[in-house]
Amino acid sequence: MTYEQFNITDKIESRASFLSLRIDAIMHVHIKAVEEFLTDDVMDIFNGVYEIGKGEKFLNLITFENFLIVDKETRKLAARSIASKYTIADAFVVDSVALKLLINFYIAFNKPSRPTQLFDSEEKAIDWLKTFL
């Protein structure tokens, strides 16, 4: 795939997230400080990645503003193969203990259908994502 076809300035904002395609072709998914992260929020991200990426698959760098509540159905939807349609791998960057517990729970119990890893720095996450190029 050649990334010259994409407009790197494309960005999409929704209720719970902000998506942007980085110059290195990594999709940055920033989760806003919302009280609860819902199934509709997962679908907004799914549709946004499709729109920005024109149906291609991407490496996702996922960052957070704050801790959030994610119910069982939302975690199940995020882990399903349909949510992987436009995703090669997910790298979560978290700096709070509470978020680390939440993401580790998601990885261990929901078993995402794509490579998924937790990191404490964006640099480490990006290095890991680039191993999939």
How far apart are the C-alpha atoms of 30 and 19, rounded to whole Å? 6
Tokens of 91: 């790298």
As a whole number, mean pLDDT of residues 105-111 equals: 94
What is the residue extent of each domain of the chain?
A: 3-130
Counting Cβ atoms within 10 Å, is residue 18 exposed (0-12), middle (13-18) or buried (19+)?
middle
Q: Please state, for a pLDDT cut of 70, what percent of the chain lies above it.
A: 93
pLDDT band at 10 (very low <50, low <70, confident <90, very high): confident
How far apart are the C-alpha atoms of 89 and 59, rounded to whole Å? 5
This prediction has a pTM of: 0.89
Q: CATH code for 3-130?
A: 3.30.750.24
* pLDDT tens-digit map of 12-51: 999 999 999 998 889 999 999 999 999 999 999 999 999 9
